[in-house]
Amino acid sequence: DNLSDTLKKLKITAADRTDDSLEGCLDCLLQALTQNNMETSEKIQGSGILQVFASLLIPQSSCTAKVANVIAEIAKNEFMRIPCVDAGLISPLVQLLNSKDQEVLLQTGRALGNICYDSHEGRSAVDQAGGAQIVVDHLRSLCSKTDPASEKLLTVFCGMLMNYSNENDSLQAQLINMGVIPTLVKLLGIHCQNAALTEMCLVAFGNLAELGKSSKEYYLNHVLSWCLIILNNKLLIPELLFHLKFWLFCSHCSLDAIKLQLVESGLVECLLEIVQQKVDSDKEEDIAELKTASDLMVLLLLGDESMQKLFEGGKGNVFQRVLSWIPSNNHQLQLAGALAIANFARNDGNCIHMVDNGIVEKLMDLLDRHVEDGNVTVQHAALSALRNLAIPVVNKAKMLSAGVTEAVLKFLKSEMPPVQFKLLGTLRMLIDAQAEAAEQLGKNVKLVERLVEWCEAKDHAGVMGESNRLLSALIRHSKSKDVIKTIVQSGGIKHLVTMATSEHVIMQNEALVALALIAALELGTAEKDLESAQLVQILHRLLADERSAPEIKYNSMVLICALMGSESLHKEVQDLAFLDVVSKLRSHENKSVAQQASLTEQRLAVES
């Protein structure tokens, strides 16, 4: 009842502009908003008083700050933001940003910031009224002032710009073009001991970093300045790390130079210190900080130069510390350690050094701890590391001897596509040019049956593709009749034929080479499956298609010749008039294709 009376009285006194009466009404509204903001805001909206507020937002009145305060409070409610815009409050509020009164500026900044929060209409109205430029100018003029009132005002203005530009590319670009980033960095340098202001700066800067600027060097310099100030002052490290992790995930932060300079700035030592301090804590905030710090370490290793600097020939302190994470009992550190090893394993030299110094055994021990109901992310990370380590030729035999194949096959029953994908990739890398290993795996019926099953995983293209590639690799590297028989008996032939039609040339080629080996070594065993998979028709299409790569045409013709040993497949070749297609390829610009076309034509003519 008192609130209703106050709202009625406010309408009357607003017309008379009696400051004393107005002040009493506004105090009553502020008290009601403190007690129950939502209900009070609903009554204010229903009373039609919002339009009256617009007329009260005048620089000369002693009540202006309180009016702006009321608007700031009601705009905390999402349902009040558009009504504030519709009531015409934005333009007079923006005009008040030119006031010399700090309290008026403070409450006006709060009001505009709250109206802009998650509101397209609010942001648009402030943009049209030119509010952003005035606030940026205030930040510049107030930047050097360190009195509490100025710092409070700076905090509010940073918050207002954050709400104004959040998730809005055009408004972020507008603020960047106004030169706000150097101002924010300068502000941080001066006020780095003010935690509230520093945190608000971080969030505002993080908003703008989402967009960045076309000049990557410009962005790089300011990110680094920002990080160095905070690192040097040991202030708000968790908040910095949170935002830095986000920035490094942004595409424009993929520059190796950023990662290298962050490494050189002392960030890594800070991360390692945080890990050491938080690893045994069970507090939620400590666990989150540990995750952020270890994730950041992994991100820094994505840069080639920063990674190599931290590797230091395998003797660096950072590399050794990361190694110690793998046998840890903390899943987050196990994950980060395995991912870090995968990132270190991005060149042959590093891979060879790590394998020679026992990293494979550490990773296998880690995998062994996660076989039964294990952590999927750790499984995925450890398999990623093993896959990368298996790329250098000299590592393959060593890893096979160490029992990596057996360790990996323990996850054959996994139903998690990311684990399946890495498992397949690791096995494929291990058997590359390793005939004995390829034959041993190719005769493993359980493995081959699982591969055939995964070749039909249409919901997971990566798993499906890797399964096909591993099937082909087992044949190509083993050149074993027993392997071919196992794959035929498990129903794998149709998938290899389908693989020959892949959109990826490398997969097409791998399939054709494997099929040619099948035709050369076990044509009788595979004949029916090749026929039912319509291999001959597919080869005809590949040869007739002008878009087919030269190596695809070449291997298709080699395969056609190999199929002539089968009576039924030979008949299909004759029925499709392959001679016409092949004869045209004798003039192909690729010499190998042209030569093979001549040989194939002769073979077809003899066999016709």
3 state SS of 548: coil
Residues 34-93: tens digit of each pLDDT: 999 999 999 999 888 898 898 889 888 889 999 999 999 999 999 999 999 999 999 999
Alpha helices in 17-58, H assignment, sequence order: 19-35, 37-47, 50-56
Residues 400-415: tens digit of each pLDDT: 999 999 999 999 999 9
Question: How high is the pLDDT of residue 252?
Answer: 44
pLDDT at 100 over 50: yes
Residues 7-20: tens digit of each pLDDT: 888 877 776 666 67
Band (478; pLDDT cuts 50, 70, 90): very high
Give the whole-angstrom CA distance, residue 426 versus residue 3.
71
Torsion of CA 91, 97, 100, 102, to 10 degrees: 120
Q: How many helices (H) and strands (E) does the chain have?
A: 39, 0
Mean pLDDT of 171-185: 87
Band (431; pLDDT cuts 50, 70, 90): very high
Average pLDDT, the chain: 88
Give the whole-angstrom CA distance, residue 128 versus residue 180.
19
> Is 216 in contact with 252 (CB distance < 8 Å)?
yes
Question: How high is the pLDDT of residue 251?
Answer: 42
Question: How high is the pLDDT of residue 94?
Answer: 96
Q: Which residue has the tokens 């999402």?
A: 78
Q: Comparing 13-22, 344-353, 421-430, 507-516, which segment has the lowest mean pLDDT?
A: 13-22
3 state SS of 62: coil
Give the whole-angstrom CA distance, residue 28 versus residue 368.
68
Residues 340-378 as b/e (b if ≥16 CB within 10 A, e otherwise) read bbbbbbbeeebbbbbbeeebbebbbebbebbeeebbebb
Mean pLDDT of 371-390: 92
Band (210; pLDDT cuts 50, 70, 90): low
pTM of the predicted model as reported, rounded to 2 decimal places: 0.72
Q: Which backbone phi and psi does 452 adopt, to 5 degrees? A: -60, -40
Give the whole-angstrom CA distance, residue 582 versus residue 561.
12
| C-beta contacts of 148-156 below 8 A and 24+ residues apart | 149/102, 150/102, 151/191, 151/194, 151/197, 152/106, 153/102, 153/105, 153/106, 153/109, 154/187, 154/191, 154/197, 155/194, 155/196, 155/197, 155/200, 156/106, 156/109, 156/110, 156/113
> Is 508 in contact with 501 (CB distance < 8 Å)?
yes
pLDDT at 538 over 70: yes
Tokens coding 232: 């040097």
Residues 274-294: tens digit of each pLDDT: 888 888 888 988 888 888 888
Higher pLDDT, 203 or 248: 203
pLDDT at 428 over 50: yes
Q: Comparing 160-169, 220-229, 494-503, which segment has the lowest mean pLDDT?
A: 220-229
Question: How high is the pLDDT of residue 211?
Answer: 54
Residues 308-321: tens digit of each pLDDT: 999 988 888 889 99
Whether the CA torsion 431, 437, 439, 440 is positive or negative: it is: negative
Question: How high is the pLDDT of residue 59?
Answer: 84
Q: Which residue has the tokens 């194949």?
A: 405
Give percent above pLDDT 90 in the chain.
60
DSSP 313: G
pLDDT at 216 over 60: no
Residues 126-137: tens digit of each pLDDT: 999 999 999 999
Question: How high is the pLDDT of residue 214?
Answer: 45
**Helix axis angle, 435-442 relative to 461-478, nearest 10°?**
120
Residues 227-260: tens digit of each pLDDT: 665 555 555 456 556 556 555 544 444 567 777 8
Question: How high is the pLDDT of residue 61?
Answer: 83
Question: How high is the pLDDT of residue 1?
Answer: 59
Question: How high is the pLDDT of residue 68?
Answer: 96
Band (477; pLDDT cuts 50, 70, 90): very high
CB half-sphere exposure, 567, CA atoms < 13 A? 0
Question: How high is the pLDDT of residue 253?
Answer: 47
Other C-beta atoms closer than 10 Å to the C-beta of 502 total 16
Which span out of 62-66, 103-107, 293-297, 455-459 was modeled with the highest average pLDDT?
Answer: 103-107
Band (169; pLDDT cuts 50, 70, 90): confident
Burial class (CB in 10 A: 0-12, 13-18, 19+), 577: exposed
Band (23; pLDDT cuts 50, 70, 90): confident
Question: How high is the pLDDT of residue 91?
Answer: 96
The secondary structure of 488-501 as a DSSP string is: HHTT-HHHHHHHTT
